[in-house]
Structures are given as structure tokens and as C-alpha cells.
Amino acid sequence: MAAQLKDLSHYGPSLCVKFIKSNCSKGDVFAAIGPFLHVYNYKTSELIHRVRIFTANKVHGFNVSRDGKYCVFYGSKSLTMCSIDDLFKFQDISSSERMFTEWIMDATFSANGDQVYILTCYNLVLITDLENNILERKNLLNERSILYSGTIKVLSNAKVIVNAGTVLGGILIWDLFNEEKIHNLTGHEGSIFYVTVSDNGKYVASCSDDRSIRLWDFETGEELSIGWGHTARIWNLKFFNNDTQLISVSEDCTCRLWDIVKNDSSVKLIMTNIYETHLIKNVWGVDVNEMDGVAVTSGNDGRIKKIDLKQTTRYGNELQSFNISKLPTADGLPLDIKSDEIFKGFHWFNFGLVAITSYGKVIKLLNTTMKWELVLSDDRFESYSMTNGISDYSSKESSDDVVVFSNNKCDLLMLKFSKDGKTLTGEQYLHVDSISKLCNCMVVKNDGTDFYIALESPNPRDKFVVLKINIATLEIVHRFNFNKPLNFVSSCLEVFGNRLLVGSRFSTIAIFNLLNEEEIPYMIRRINEGDTITSIKCFEQSENGNTLFSVTNRDGYYNFIKVDMTLLQSHPDVKEDNISIHTIIHSNKVIKGFLEGTLCDGTGDYITYDFKSSLFYIYNETNGYEIASQVCGGAHRQWKLTTLGDDSGYMLVYIKASELYLRRIYHNSNELNTLENGIHGREIRDLSILNQNTDHENQYLFVTGSEDTTVKLCKYDTTNGVVTNYWTQRQHVSGLQRVKFINDKLMISCSAREELFLWEINTEFTNKPYMTIRKPLPTLKKHPDLRIMDFDVLLDCNNTDNFISAAVYSDSTIKIWYYNYSRNEYESCIWENRYETCCILNTSFVQIRDRLYLLIAATDGYLTFYDLTSELSFIANDKQGRIQINEINSIESTSKPVFKIRVHKSGIKTLDVNVLDNGTEFQVFTGGDDNAIAMSIFRLKDVDITGEVTSLIENAASSTVTSCQLFENKNKLLTTSVDQRVRVWDITSDNKLVLKHTKYTTIADTGSCDIIKTDKNKQSIILGGVGLSVWEY
Amino acid sequence: MGKSSKDKRDLYYRKAKEEGYRARSAYKLLQLNEEFHFLDNEKNLKKVVDLCAAPGSWSQVLSRKMFTEAQDVPTAEKKLIAVDLQPMSPIDNVITLQADITHPKTLAKILDIFGNEKADFVCSDGAPDVTGLHDLDEYFQQQLIMSALQLTTCILKPNGTFVAKIFRGRDIDMLYSQLGYLFDRVVCAKPRSSRGTSLEAFIVCLGYNPPNNWSPKLDINKSIEEFFSSCSMNQLSISDNDQKLPKWKDGERDIAEFMSCGGLQSFDSDATYHYDDEILSNLKDKVSLDPVQSPTNPPYKKALEMKRNGKLTRAV
């Protein structure tokens, strides 16, 4: 069978998502993704069904008839009507696709479901039956100018309203059947992006380029209220809860809730909640399931996100608060709280909360009764105290719930509670003599029987004291007096085996040996620039005995640090920042705020929590969405986050203005997560597949670089095209130009601001791969617009982690660097030259026989060769396309190109090179902004290059050719272009390109591709643009 | 055009300020003309219409070409009309009309000003608000071109020239195909001053030559599709008598000839220039210049003000 291009998966913008009320048991959320419809069971987040609706066009919207039997899909000029039964029966219904001459804005069913009303962008409504027969055409006289938005509201069989949003701020509301204008609502500025009528026909809601939502009285046309809040354009609105609420989605990544508050004299729109639901930009679609209190949104990032609208009201106990002067008690008698008494500390247990006041009163709140009780009073802990605890969530009968109070005079009080919290089962008082003053006390649980208390004095000469306590008896098992490292101020604690890891200010960690208190701790200093470490958590261990710790910094950086515990044990003398003992294998920065720690959610996703301005956030970093947030006044307050006992979620306890708040964040993943995670918020500019199987067959890692400035590391399956996200790296500050793996672990990315980063991928841990910048290329000019457009590398045959790299710049500069892996240095810029004064777009080394050339392609359409052979005489070619380097020199070259040929009329967007086995010829394949692709042959004659274009396909595409790549032993060429067509070309023996296959891709702005061989005669392809698609050939 | 750091980055922007153009897009028209010379023969440039003209840089170029640099034809015989929905500040020799290009009244006004003579040259540098939805944006851009073309077919003399901004997206070849029915030659031209990273290009339609049996007629109650429906260029016609939505089929497509405009000596809008670059030595002074035209009033001006005053925040 002849090879065929076949698409396996599509990830990209979703324009419409809806809950389906039909009693269709198979699924209850419909989402339009590209030309496809996805059906999900929203409670389990399972994808139930995927059906292709249109041949090429995107589905922009759909509606289901009231009886739930039929649905209609529209998008661009296309329209398909279909029974729900057929929708589920088939994988592809595009053969039923119909079309009209104008863009379709909305299509919906009549009240009794036997007709369809179709609104076009020229304010025309077609009335059809369910067999696509046009019954009538309706329009509003003299109002046929183009619409930016429009909806049809069916109030009854007899009353249908057309809402048309014009480009000039006016909204035309008209009656479909009598074709009469009801209102021309004016007030908005700019184009109207959405307009809708409420179910009861009382209100009109609209939004426009002016960033406001306006509520209008349907009867009178009066503007009732303006809702301000969104910071960018608003795309969609929906009334719900009997028209008492409105939900809006916007270009500002948020979804907002509004109450329609009605009193005697006025109706007001009041914003009541904001959810940040999508990445980078546009949220397009929204719907609400009123019964369950769940909304669902769809966005440009391809994500389908569920939102719990009852985040703080679903169970009734999500948010509780207590004023210290009015604490409810079991016996109804007030606790003897003084007027100036305040909460000083607290710890949450499965049974409830234990707190201490500024007068040394220990009080507890029982979860079951929500009543407070005095436990004891101890004036040693008046005014200054610290509270720590270890919570026991095990199912065993006896409890290990212990709270530890301490003061600055080195007094410690440990209290142990029964499982129900009702009785005190242990009490231990201690005074630590060996330190002069106590400034920090931290507690960590070890295994079943012990826990550690770490005590720090502000006096640098004092020891760092650690007490090992038996949980059962609260007796000291061992006392460690560690020497305190210099410049060390402890901030967090973790225990692993015989090692105690202590985080400090200045992004520093000390690793103490619990077997030898004399041993000087191993120090990992200055992991990032500056800030305090807020958490250290053991994540996993690799087969070869390395342990991986997640480390968070308050300034927002998080790192994964690999520690070789065995090596550490065998080299007690190695004390500082030794690369063989520890390696930072992942480093990244969260989007915002003060990073306080990480959580495990059971799925393996990396969950962080942080503060930004007045909010506390829990965030899924792996997939990039907010799980929960709480307005609490910000980081500068008493607060503590613990898990809820039964694994149902988290408890955030905080104090705000003398009130103590208990905020339960239920980890009911069904209501918090996504139906589809999505990819980038903007165009993928380049992608690269790591051509090496992961532990699973058919699964490969790949990276994407996007206009949204991030680099993502993902995995995909070549058999079904399913993509899994791992990390989103935010190290670049401008949109990416190129990303490319250069060997099995190193990858390079480049962008504006002279950013070229060398990344290392680590795959030794089973949970997930990790990636970090190994070395940025040194920058020389502080020109914000100076872009590195492309690069190429040649590996050193003596060590393939060493390489030379050529980078081409937007100011016509060309630079070649040598990178040494073991020293982790770009040793010098070994060659520098300048082409003309235009932007260079592509580069490639060409090794032919003993000669080395650099090929560049620029916006002028020329292919240009520089001869590096004599200039870089210390570099020799080896046979495998690698190089041998002797002694490094640095050359500022003024040499002119040795050969130049104009191939394209405009910029050369992409190139690929094939050096032929005959050792005298090489082929260059190019694609240009001029819609052309070309094949050129170059010959080496003695030391000179000559060549010509052998095949120029002028109209290879109808718009810019964006990528080309050789495959199948360089006998075939794959091209992508903005016209959304993927083409496969045969390279004939007489050096011509012959079109073999063309296939439409559903990815708009197709800009990049990569292709790998997965099987003897099978290739796997990823296409990138606005979204991505996996194909096979 | 504001006074900003853009100055350093964009040579065309700087040049526009120095040469008194309201926008850098002036150079796009000038570079198109370098290749096609449609503004160089003043005898064929007596009646000109600039559609979607605001802020007016193309009208400025046209005004210089028609009036300042050409003296042979008496000024009274020459008319240059700029049409836009937005108000425009006056430009020498330009008659500005704040009007809707799809309205028959606008057509009547233009014909009136031209004394019922036809235009030699019609151009449009207009673009709609971009939403970020590629297909919708491309459609609206094509509709804008078609509405400009609709008016153009009513005023352009045979063999006249039409130039308009396009976005080279998925369906651009369908537009090329449609234009092929009305003009002898359709070229997709990319001036060097238009960024290579942008999908922007220009269609240059030469030799207006509509079908013999077709007489265009503007009607406020007809959509663009209906306007062109009796001309064979229409992709798909569903007349009032048609009773069924037709099955979907891909439209007729035709790839237009591509041409790069502006010599290689001209600035490359994708390149980064440094102050010590030779190419910059022609630019007069290197300090920041005041903008020629103050920034316009965006519809979201009030929202911006509220944001600046801290009224649009995350916390509810």
C-alpha cells in the first residue's frame, strides 16, 4: 500500500463548550475543538467520543434542540445538522456538511425543534427545515452592514429575537418574524463582540471592544447597568440561575461571575468572583451547569476547564471564622479572653485546631462540635511563642497528633492528643540549656516512631540543636548539637534516611548527618539568586540511588535537586557545592507571587501554593491552572496550610484582622480539574522530537517553543497522538524562534534579546523527565530587539556533549562558539562575521570532504556560503558528520562569502541540507515567503563551490512556506505552509521536486514540524502552529 | 504613532517621522510603486480614491505624487478623495469623506466630486480589528477588501488599478481567484517595509476588465456576496430561488504571482540596526522625534484609565 498522510490527533483552540441537557447517558459536555466535536463525561473528565464535523473549517458553535434529539453545528460558512444518535454513531459526519455564501454567526432550533434559524454576518436569517431546505429568508431593511457578533434567541414558537452586534457600537435587536427593529441599543464604544437575551426575555446583555458589559432592559431598551472589570476584550456572556446571574469570559484569561442585583429603583451588575482559567490569552466559550454549580470554559490554549462555582459554598463549611473575643464553647461559658489577647499560633489536626494565645492559653476547637475549649494555660508562653505540630492521618487507633510550643527562652511544651482530640494523652515540658536564645523552631516527622525538633539560636556561635523525640513517650531519644554553618538562617526542614535537610535564607541548603553530629554539613549554596527556601521535599529515587528533592524559594523559583546519597555518605570531607554529589536538574519560576511550598495530589502533577497581593493560590504547575484561591490579605500574616485528614483536600488557617479563618479547600478533583489540558496560549514557532524511545514503546519526548515565550516539555504517543504535558519553562522573555535537540540530552532554544539557552534533559527518574538551563550563551549587546534567529551545531567526535554552535542574528551577525560540557562553558566566540544589513533567518554547517562551510539564508532570498576551512583550521571533519577540535582560537573574520545565489524572491523561511555520498555535491532545500520551494545543487570543485537551482516550484503553496524537512534517507521532503497544507515531495534522480501528497492540516498558522522514523516504513510527524497535531506517514 | 522605544527598533518608523508621514505604512505604498510605477504617470493619476484612509499616510503619499511632484496636469483636473469611517485630520490636496464605503451615498458623493469621471487608481490599506481567530480575521479582512472592491467596481475606469492590504492566510487563494475575474493581472506583493513575520501583503490588481455582461450596482439591502452574485467571480451563488443549502465544497483557488517590492538596498523591516550602522547615517538625527500624529482614541480608553487607577483588580 502506498504511504499516506494520516492525522491522529489535534490540539488547538476551542471556541465553544456546552453542557448538554439531553438524557444522553454517554456524555454531558460537548466541546468544539478545530473541526472536531469532543464529548466528555464531565464528572469523570473522560473523553467519551470524538467526531469530525467539518472537512476543513473550525466549528465555531453549536446548539441542541429542546427535545435533545438534534444538533446543529456552524463555523465559517459551514453548517451541519445531525441527530444526536448519528452524532454518537459515527466518527466523521463531514459528508453532511452544507454551506452558505456568508459567514454564519449563529444557528439554532425553533422552539418545537422542526426548524433551524441561521444568522449570517450580513444580518440575514435563513429559516430551514431539518433537511437543509431553505423555507424563508428574513432580514432587517437597510441594516445589512457587516456584524461582528450575533445571536438568535428563541423565546417561543411565535417569538424569536435576533441580536446583532455591529462594528460601530450599535446593537440591533429585531423581531425575526415581522422583520422589525425592536431596539438600536447605543452606548458601547467599538465593535460589539457578543450580545444575548435572557431566558425570560427581560434583559439584553452585551460586551464590546470598550471592555464593558452592559445590561439593558429588553422592554424599554434602557441601559440598566455597566459592568467594568475585564482588562481586555470580552468574548462571551451567558445568563444563568433564572437570569439572576451572568458569567463572562475574556481575552484577559479570566472568567467572571456577576450578580444581577435588583431593587425597587434599579438593576445593577455586581462582579462576585474571578477565575483565571486559561493561559496567555483568549477564553472563547463558557457554559454553566446550574444544578451542580459548575461552569466550563474553553480557550485559545485548547484547554477545556471546569470551574467550581461553589468553591466556598458547596458543603457549607468551606470558610469559617472566629473572633477571639467571641469563641463559642461547649458549656456555653466564655473563655477568659482578655481584651488585648490575640492568637499567636495554631496547628490543624484531623480532630480540629489547637491554638495558643498571647497570654499563653492553649485552646482547641473540635471539628465535630465546632466548639472551643481551654486545654491549659502556661505563662511561660505568654507574648512570644511559636507553634509546630505533627498531624497523624493514619487509620490506626492510637493517635500521634502532637503540638509543640516554644518560646524565645528555649522552653518547649509538647502536647499529645487522643484521636478524637478530646483528651490530652501526653504532656512534656523541656528547657534547652545548650543555646542562649531561640529564634526558630521547626518540626518534622521521621517514621512511625520518632520526630525531630530543630532549634536555632540567633547567636552564630551557638549550636544548631536537633532533638529526636519518641512520639509515644514524648521523651528525647537523642540530642544532636550540630555546628551551625556560616550565614545560615534556617527556614524549613526535611528528613531523609539519616540526613536532615535544612533550608535557609539566601537559597541555601545544609545537609546534616544524623549519624555523626561532628560532621560538617554538606552545603548547597545560592541555588538561585537570593531568596529564602520555603520548602524541601523528597520526590523520588532513581534506580541508581539518586534521590530527588523539590526545593521552593520564596521569590518564585522551584528546583529539583538530585543528591547522590551514597556518594555523600562515602565522602564526608566534601563540603560544598560538589557537582558529583548534587545536581540541579530542573529550575523554573512560577508565574506569580511568593512561592511557599508544594503539595502532592496523587496524580503526579506538581502542585504549588503561593501568595500574590491579597490572594493565596493553589496551582497545578504541570498543567498550568489555578486549583483554588482565597482572598486572605496576603503573605504577611499568620497562616498555615495542612492536608485535610481523609485526603479530601487542604486546610488553610489564617488570621486576618483579629479573626481566625478556617478555609477548607476540598480536593474534589472532579470539580477542579480540566477536561482537556491544552497546549500553548499562542502559536508554536518550533518543535523538536527527542529521537529516542522513552521507557514506553511508541512514546517520545518533544519540546515546543511558542510565541507565548514559554518552552514546553511533553511526551506523545506515536500510535494515537495523545500528548502529555510535563513542564512549561518560563526562562525566555520573548517569543521563541527555534528549539532543537542536538543530541540525546541537550537541547537549544533561541529568541530575541540575544537569548540562546542550552538545556539539559534528565530522564533518569521514572515519575517524569526534568529540564534545566545548563548555560545561556553570553550576550554582548544590550539591544532588546536583537534576535537570534537560528543556530546549528556540530558535535565534537571526542565527546559528543561538546560542540561548536553557529548562531545567526537579526542584525546580520554570525557567531560561532565552542562549548565544553564538563567545564560547562562557552569557551570563546571562535568566529564572528557580518553578512549584509539584513536579518539572517537560517543557518547550517556544511561538511564536505575535508572542507567546512557555513550556509546562511536571509530575508534577501539568497543562499550564502562562508568557507570556514582555513579560518577554523583547528577544526577537522570526521566521517560521521562530527568534528575534531585541536586548539581553540578566536577569529574576527572579515572574509567575504565564497558563493552566493538568489533562490527566493523574498525571505527564506526554512532550509534543509543533504551532503551526498559522492563527496563532491550537496543539495539544499528551501522554502520561502514567496510561496516557493526550491532545490539547489552545489558542487565542490577543488576548493570552490558552485551551484544552481535545479528545481523551483514557484506556487508550491498559496502562502508562506514555513518549514521543510528531509526524511526517508533524505529521499523525500516534507513542507508546511500558512495555507494549512502539508506536502510530501519526491526528490527525483534528475534533482527535481515532484509533489507526491497534499493534505490539509487543521492547525492554523502552520509554522513548524518535526518528523522521525518509528518503524521500518513508518514516520511520525508533529505539526505546530496555533495548537499541534500528530500525524503518521 | 507615539514617542516610544519603538524609535530605535524600527527604521521605517523613524523615517516616517522624519519625512512627515503619519504612519510607517507610507513606505509600503512607495515600495509597491517602485515596482509597479502606478503613481509615476500623472496623466493616469488624475482621479484617485484612498479607502479606509485614516490616519492618512497613503493619502499623504498620493498627495505628494499627484500634486507636489507632478506639475504637468492642471491641479483642477486632479482629485484625490480619502474615505474613512473615522475622522481624519486634513491633508493638503485631499478631500476627506467621513463615510461608509458600502453605502450608495458615498459612491454618489465620489462620483459627484469626480464630475462623473471614473477613477484611475483606488487603494485600501484598511484592516479590521483582529480577534485572534485566524479564520474569522481572514474572513473579515476579505470582506473588507470585497467591500472596497464593490465600491471600486462602480468607480474604476477600465484598465484602472486597485491595490489593497491582504493577510496571506488559509483562504487567500480563493480571493486571488475571485480577483482574477475582474482584472487582467493580479500580483501578491510584499514590500520590504512589511515585516516578514507578518502575514500582511498587498494585492496589486492591474488592468480593470470586468465581465462584459455585468453592471455593478450598490444596494444597501444587498450583502457583498449578493452584489457580486451576477458576476461570474462569485464562488457559490445561492439565488433567492434556491431551496436547499448546497453541500460543502472547497472553493475555486488560484495562486497569484508573488513579487517582493523595494530594492535590497532599502531597510529590512525584520533586521535589527545599530546606531553605528552605515545604513543609518542617512537618517538625519538620532534623537527621538515627536510623533507626527497624536495617538487615536481607542474604544477601551475608559477601561485603560480605570486600570491605571487601580479600579480593575483581581480581588473582588
Cβ distance A102 to B129 less than 8 Å, yes or no, reads no
Fold of A148-303: Methylamine Dehydrogenase; Chain H (2.130.10)
Nearest to B196 among A98, A101, A859 (CB): A859
B1: confidence class by pLDDT, cuts 50, 70, 90 = very low
Whether the per-residue pLDDT at A362 is higher than 50: the answer is: yes
A229 CA: distance to closest CA in chain B (Å):
5
Contact A144 B270 (CB under 8 A): no
- The burial of A888, by beta-carbon neighbours within 10 Å (0-12 exposed, 13-18 middle, 19 or more buried), is given as middle
Q: Find the mean pLDDT for residues A845-869.
A: 94
- Cβ separation A211–B236 shorter than 8 A: no
- Which pLDDT belongs to residue B2? 39
Q: Is B135–A57 a contact, with Cβ atoms under 8 angstroms apart?
A: yes
**DSSP assignment letter at A576:** B
Note whether B245 contacts A132, CB cutoff 8 Å. Answer: yes
Q: Reply yes or no on whether the pLDDT at B289 is more than 60.
A: no
In degrees, to the nearest 5, what angle opens at C-alpha B213 toward C-alphas B211 and B217?
A: 90
Partner residue facing A906 (CB), from B235, B242, B260: B260
Cα–Cα distance between B74 and A678 in angstroms, integer?
63
pLDDT 10s digits, A612-631: 888 999 999 998 888 888 98
Question: What residue in B sits closest to A142 (Cα-Cα)?
Answer: B221
Going by C-alpha positions, the residue among B50, B45, B233, B256 that lies closest to residue B157 is B45
pLDDT at B233 over 60: no
Query: Smallest CA–CA separation between A963 and chain B, in Å?
Result: 14
Of B139, B299, B315, the CB nearest to A614: B315
User: A980 touching B, CB under 8 A?
Assistant: yes
The answer to whether the beta carbons of residues A412 and A452 sit under 8 Å apart is: no
pLDDT confidence of residue B229: 78
C-beta separation of A491 from A501 below 8 A: no
B268 labelled binding-site residue: no
What does the domain layout of chain B look like in residue ranges? 6-236+243-308
**Which residues in chain A are contacts of B238 at CB distance < 8 A?**
100-101, 134
At residue A720, the pLDDT reads 94
Q: What is A99-136 written as a DSSP string?
A: E-SS-EEEEEE-TTSSEEEEEETTSEEEEEETTSBEEE
Of all residues in chain B, the one with the smallest CA distance to A230 is: B312
pLDDT of residue B238: 55
Enzyme catalytic residues of B:
165
- Phi first, then psi, for residue B217 (nearest 5°) are -145, 120
B275 touches chain A (CB under 8 A): no
**Beta-carbon contacts below 8 Å between A and B:** 238
pLDDT, tens digit (0-9, with 9 covering 90-100), for B9-38 = 678 888 888 888 998 899 999 999 999 999
* Residue B215: CB atoms within 10 Å: 11
Residue B4: the pLDDT is 42
For residue A1026, the chain B residue with the least C-alpha distance is B134
Q: Which of A498, A470, A463, A515 is nearest to A484 (CA)?
A: A463
Residue B100 marked ligand-binding: yes
Residue B3 has a pLDDT of 40
All CATH 2.130.10.10 domain ranges of chain A, comma separated, are 14-139, 148-303
Quick one: pLDDT at residue A71?
A: 96
Establish whether the linkage from the previous residue to B55 is cis, with ω within 30° of 0: yes
What is residue A280's predicted lDDT score, i.e. its pLDDT?
84
The arithmetic mean of pLDDT across residues A797-816, rounded, is 94
DSSP structural state of residue A567: H
User: pLDDT higher for A192 or A692?
Assistant: A192
Contact A859 B139 (CB under 8 A): no
Highest CATH level, class, for A14-139: mainly beta
Indicate the pLDDT class of residue B308, thresholds 50, 70 and 90: confident
Separation of alpha carbons A469 and A451, rounded Å: 5
Can you give the pLDDT at residue B151? Answer: 94
Choice among A292-306, A717-731, B196-210, B225-239 with the minimum mean pLDDT: B225-239
* Interface touch A1004/B135, C-beta < 8 Å: yes
Per-residue pLDDT, B315: 59
Cβ-contact A887, A873 below 8 angstroms: no
Q: Which residue has the higher pLDDT, B215 or B1?
A: B215
A878-928 tens-digit pLDDT? 878 899 888 888 888 889 999 999 999 999 999 999 999 988 999 999 999
What mean pLDDT comes out for the span A709-724?
95
Least confident of A666-675, A832-841, A926-935, B219-228: A666-675
Which CB contacts under 8 angstroms, 24+ apart, belong to B69-74?
B70/B42, B70/B45, B72/B42, B72/B43, B73/B42, B73/B43, B73/B46
Cα–Cα separations (whole angstroms), residue A874 to A806, A867, A887, A898, A931: 16, 14, 6, 20, 41
Res. B236 pLDDT band, cuts 50 70 90: low
Residue A806, pLDDT above cutoff 60: yes
How far B220 CA sits from the closest chain A CA (Å)?
6
Give B72 to chain A, closest Cα distance, Å.
Answer: 36
CB proximity under 8 Å: B 255-274 to A: 255, 258-260, 264, 268, 270-274
Mark which residues 56-115 of A lie under 8 Å from B by CB.
56-58, 60, 75-76, 78-79, 94, 97-103
Q: Which of B134, B224, B248 to mutate to test the interface with A (most CBs of A within 10 A)?
A: B248
Question: With an 8 Å Cβ cutoff, are B272 and A79 in contact?
Answer: no
Q: Which CATH superfamily is domain B6-236+243-308 in?
A: Vaccinia Virus protein VP39 (3.40.50.150)
Q: Which residue in B172, B279, B306 is closest to A959 by CB distance? A: B172
* Contact (CB<8Å) B306/A228: yes
The answer to whether A931 faces chain B, any CB pair under 8 Å, is yes
Q: How far is B227 from chain A (nearest CA, A)?
A: 12
Mean per-residue pLDDT over chain B, rounded: 85
pLDDT at residue A762 in the model:
95
* C-alpha span between A164 and A979 (Å, rounded): 31
User: For residue B5, what pLDDT is reported?
Assistant: 46
pLDDT tens per residue across span A272-301: 999 988 988 899 999 999 998 999 999 999
**Å between B311 CA and nearest CA of chain A:** 8
Q: Listing from the earlier edge strand, what are the strands of the sheet with A234-240?
A: A234-240, A245-250, A254-262, A267-276
End-to-end CA distance of chain B: 36
Asked which of A179-183, A445-449, A769-773 is least confident by mean pLDDT, the reply is A445-449
Q: Is the pLDDT of residue A578 over 80?
A: no
Cell of B308: 491605571
CA separation, residue A554 to residues A506, A611, A612 (Å): 10, 10, 11
- Does A13 touch chain B if contact means CB atoms closer than 8 Å? yes
A236 touches B: beta carbon within 8 Å:
no
CA dist., res. A607 & res. A585, Å (int): 18
Query: Is residue B233 within 8 Å of residue B182, measured between CB atoms?
Result: yes
pLDDT in tens, B270-283: 888 886 665 555 55
What residues of chain A lie within 8 A of the CB of B222, using their CB? 144
The residues pairing with B295 across neighbouring beta strands, listed in sequence order, are: none
Q: Does A930 touch chain B (CB under 8 A)?
A: yes
Q: Write the DSSP string, A963-995.
A: EEEEETTTTEEEEEETTTEEEEEEE-TTS-EEE
Rounded distance between C-alpha atoms, residue A101 and residue B251, angstroms: 11
Average pLDDT, chain A: 92
Whether residue B84 is annotated as binding a ligand: the answer is yes
Interface of B with A in 135-194 (CB under 8 A): 135-136, 139-140, 143, 147, 168-170, 172-173, 176, 188, 190, 192
- The predicted structure's pLDDT at residue B16: 87
Q: Using one digit for the tens of pLDDT, what is the confidence trace for A370-391?
A: 999 999 999 999 989 999 999 8
Instruction: Give residue-wise pLDDT tens across range A180-193.
Output: 999 999 999 989 99
